Amino acid sequence: MTDDTAIREAIQGALGEHEVLLFMKGTPEAPACGFSARTVAALQALDAPFSAVDVLPDPRIRQQLSALSNWPTIPQLFFKGELVGGCDIVLEMYESGELAEALGVSTPDDAPDEAPVAAEPGAPPLQIDTSLVKQRD
Partner 1 sequence: MPSADQLKTRIEDALPGSRAEVADLKGTGDHFRAVVVSPAFTGLSRIEQHRLVYDVFGAEMGGAIHALSLSTRPA
What are the residues binding partner 1 (CB under 8 A)?
35, 62, 70-73, 83-89, 92-93
- In the complex, the smallest distance separating the C-beta of residue 127 from partner 1, rounded to whole angstroms, is 21
The residues pairing with 21 across neighbouring beta strands, listed in sequence order, are 51, 78
**Strands across the sheet with 82-85, in order?**
51-54, 20-24, 76-79, 82-85
Nearer to partner 1, 4 or 47 (CB): 4
Nearer to partner 1, 18 or 62 (CB): 62
Q: Which is nearer to partner 1, 47 or 117 (CB)?
A: 117
**Please, which residue, 56 or 83, has the CB nearer to partner 1?**
83
DSSP strands (E only) in the chain:
20-24, 51-54, 76-79, 82-85
Least separation in angstroms between CB 92 and partner 1: 7
- Please state the separation of Cα 99 from the chain's center in Å: 14
User: In the bound complex, what is the minimum distance in angstroms from residue 50's beta carbon to partner 1?
Assistant: 18
- Given a contact cutoff of 8 angstroms between Cβ atoms, the answer to whether 91 and 112 are in contact is no
